[in-house]
Amino acid sequence: MRRSQWTTVSLLVAAALCGCTRAGDVLEPSAVKPPAQGAAPAAPGDGALAVPAPPAVQPPAASPAQVAAALAKVRLQIAPIVGATVEAATPLTERLAMRARERGITLVGSAGAQSATDMLKGYFSAVTEGADTTVVYVWDIYDPAGNRLHRINGQQKAPSVKGGEGWSAVSPATMQAVADATVDQLAAWFGSRP
C-alpha cells in the first residue's frame, strides 16, 4: 500500500476504536465538542460523541467545630522569608504570629522543627510604579518530608512611603495586610484538608 492509503486506514481504525461516528470526527477533531455539563448525551449518528457528563459533587462544608479541630492539629514552622528586607519582614512575621494564635494555629520555632506538621516558605518582591508600590508574595506549604502541598500567592498594592522605591517604600501596614490575607487563606486551607 502507498503511504496515503496507510494513513487513511490508520485513521479509520482509530475512529473505530474511539467510537467515533463519522470520519470527519477524526479528520477534524475541532468539529467534535463534548456535551455541556448536565446536558443530555448526544444521539448516535448526529456527529457528536455520546459521553455523559459527570455529576457535580461538592464536598460538604466543614462545621466551625471541625475547622477549629483541624487547625488545633497544625504545628506550623515558618522558614526565613526570601526576598524581603528585615525591616519589611518584621511587621509581617509579628502579625503572622498574632493572627495565627487568634485562629488556633500553633507556630513552632526552629527548636520545635521536629514536631512541625507543616512548613511555610515565603518568597517576596516589591515593585514601585509611580506613587504606588506592590508587594508580590508566594507562600508554599510543605510537609515534613519536603513535599509541597499547597501554594498561596497574591499581591498587596499601597501608596509608596516617603517617596521611596522597592522595600524602602513599603509600609508596615502593607506587610500586616499581607499577613492577614495569608493567615485567612492558611486557615481556610488547613480547615478544609482531610
**In the chain, which residues fall in CATH 3.30.160.150?**
65-192
Can you give the pLDDT of all 194 residues of the chain as single tens digits? 444 444 443 444 344 444 444 444 433 444 444 444 454 444 444 554 455 556 665 556 667 888 788 888 889 999 999 999 999 999 999 999 999 999 999 999 877 678 899 999 999 999 999 999 999 999 999 999 999 999 999 999 999 987 789 999 999 999 999 999 999 999 999 988 87
Q: Do residues 124 and 81 make contact, with C-beta atoms less than 8 angstroms apart?
A: yes
Say how far apart CA 149 and CA 165 lie, in whole Å. 34
Q: Count of CB atoms within 10 A of residue 94's CB?
A: 14
Q: Do residues 158 and 131 make contact, with C-beta atoms less than 8 angstroms apart?
A: no
CATH of region 65-192, choose from 3.40.50.2000, 3.40.640.10, 3.40.50.300, 3.30.160.150: 3.30.160.150
Cell of residue 31, nine digits: 468539529
What is the strand order of the sheet 75-78 is part of?
Answer: 106-108, 75-78, 118-129, 132-142, 148-159
